[in-house]
Amino acid sequence: MSDTYARSNLAAIDAAHHLHPFSDMKKLNADGARIIQRGEGVYIWDAKGKKYLDGFAGLWCVNIGYGRHEIADAVARQMKELPYYNTFFGTTTTPATLLSEKVVSHAGPHLNHVFFTASGSEANDTWFRMARVYWAAVGKPSKKIVIARKNGYHGSTVAGASLGGMKYMHEQGDLPIPGIVHIDQPYWYGEGGDLSPDEFGLKVARQLEEKIDELGEENVAAFVAEPVQGAGGVIIPPNTYWPEIQRICKARNILLVADEVICGFGRLGEWFGHQHFGVEPDLAPVAKGLSSGYLPVGGVLVSDRVADVLINDVGDFNHGFTYSGHPVCATAALENLRILEDERLVERVRDNIGPYFARAWGALGDHDLVGEAVSIGLMGALQLAADKKTRMRFEKPDAVGALVRNHALANGLVLRATGDRMLASPPLVITHEEVDEMIRITRIALDSAWRELKS
């Protein structure tokens, strides 16, 4: 491995052979990929030795921070004992079974079952099939359509990208597949017009009811949404939104699916986003923070309502992955959950570092370039705006976001830009001083971008 690291032409090899996710490969090959080599706590180092504060926890996932040798040690032990076995054909492994008990112990009391996957996309494909199988088994086979949201993100597989509401993804590969429709997102800043956030929250939630009426309740299987829309720009719904969604799903007898891939495992200061908003999903895809990204593992948390039917009435559910319940990945997840529990990291987000981050991040709202600075737990967004008073956006939102992101990177901070929203999602172990450093560099990046835009 160290020989490989020492090769000075890694960027050239990468350009010659490696196709990256969500990347303009021509541009990336010309620029050369940044090679990240080491991580410790909230910091990462690239091959040139430059240090960055990772304000994005990898990809919303490194909740316990980098460099936790407990996970490496547990994984090494499991690798030596049993590197792989499947959970098909009447078998299981100790880590997979123990993880099933542990992961549901933190979710809402009605979620007592889990189906394992290796990723968040697979988790979304899994519940998509499970929901249809459920309705067929209870004698309502016409209930097939899933209602999702514009600008939502549920993965990159065919079902995941179809459930997601990213237009630029639908344009590639003729998506969405049939049986998936989208309603508006609760994005007050961009789409709320003259309504108050609470009025707007109710209005967009009620689109769900209107859509069900249009399609016919007998044809609708489920509604899916992220508790807080992540990749879409950390869209925190108005307070009125989730209670109304929950009411509609119950009243109209459709399954509620909370995509917890980002919000799960402490990001919002509760174990799961549905707990923060006080809703009871029937199905909840998870991944990312389940292992803090140390190894790929995901799953679907399944309510008693759905699991009872699946267990008693379906017979074989003809679905599953080679790596469902992978024993080494499950070991990493178990050790990760132990760390989250023992170090009370979820409670720390709720009671300590979350409120600290909210104050520090919120203060960036006074910057001329920032239309609003919002956060929830350890998830934050800065809405960049051409005119703060009128909520006017820039003509080329992507360019402004990229400008701020690049200034942040040059100054040693990883932030993500989604259009004209700057997103932050640091590891849950971040200290007060590290939050201060994050804010200081973000301000430098905003100042630099503002100067450039004015000139």
| Secondary structure (DSSP) of 75-129 | HHHHHHH-S---S-TT---HHHHHHHHHHHHTS-TTEEEEEEESSHHHHHHHHHH
Please return the burial class of 362, using the count of CB atoms within 10 Å of its CB with bins 0-12, 13-18 and 19+.
middle
Buried b (16+ CB within 10 A) or exposed e, 61-100: bbbbbbebeebeebbeebeeeeeeebbeeeebbebbebbb
Give the nearer residue to ligand PMP in terms of CB position, either 120 or 176.
120
Query: Residues 86-125: x/- map of binding to ligand PMP (CB under 6 A)?
Result: ---------------------------------xxx--x-
Binding span for ligand PMP by CB under 6 A among 258-266, 267-275, 300-308, 443-451: 258-266
**Residue from 54, 125, 244, 259 that binds ligand PMP (CB under 6 A)?**
259
Number of residues that bind ligand PMP (CB under 6 A): 14
Query: Is residue 231 at the binding interface for ligand PMP, with CB under 6 A as the rule?
Result: yes
Give the nearer residue to ligand PMP in terms of CB position, either 125 or 244.
125
Distance of alpha carbon 354 from alpha carbon 53, whole angstroms = 17
Query: Is residue 287 at the binding interface for ligand PMP, with CB under 6 A as the rule?
Result: yes
In angstroms, what is the minimal distance from the CB of 287 to ligand PMP?
5
Which stretches does DSSP call E strand in 133-279? 145-149, 180-183, 220-225, 255-258
In angstroms, what is the minimal distance from the CB of 24 to ligand PMP?
19
Please return the burial class of 448, using the count of CB atoms within 10 Å of its CB with bins 0-12, 13-18 and 19+.
middle
**Residue from 68, 113, 149, 154 that binds ligand PMP (CB under 6 A)?**
154
Please return the burial class of 179, using the count of CB atoms within 10 Å of its CB with bins 0-12, 13-18 and 19+.
middle
Distance of alpha carbon 430 from alpha carbon 134, whole angstroms = 42
Q: To the nearest 10°, the Cα dihedral for 408, 409, 414, 419? A: 70
Query: Is residue 424 at the binding interface for ligand PMP, with CB under 6 A as the rule?
Result: no
The SS3 of residue 57 is: helix
**Residue from 95, 227, 230, 266 that binds ligand PMP (CB under 6 A)?**
230
Query: Is residue 153 at the binding interface for ligand PMP, with CB under 6 A as the rule?
Result: yes
**Nearest residue relative to ligand PMP (C-beta):** 120
Query: Residues 16-55: x/- map of binding to ligand PMP (CB under 6 A)?
Result: ----------------------------------------
User: Closest Cα to residue 121, out of 52, 81, 169?
Assistant: 169
Give the nearer residue to ligand PMP in terms of CB position, either 281 or 371.
281
**Residue from 226, 270, 280, 335 that binds ligand PMP (CB under 6 A)?**
226
List the structure tokens of 3. 């020989």
Query: Is residue 324 at the binding interface for ligand PMP, with CB under 6 A as the rule?
Result: no
Binding span for ligand PMP by CB under 6 A among 169-177, 181-189, 205-213, 254-262: 254-262
In angstroms, what is the minimal distance from the CB of 124 to ligand PMP?
6
Q: Would you tell me which residues interact with ligand PMP (CB under 6 A)?
A: 119-121, 124, 153-155, 226, 230-231, 259, 261-262, 287
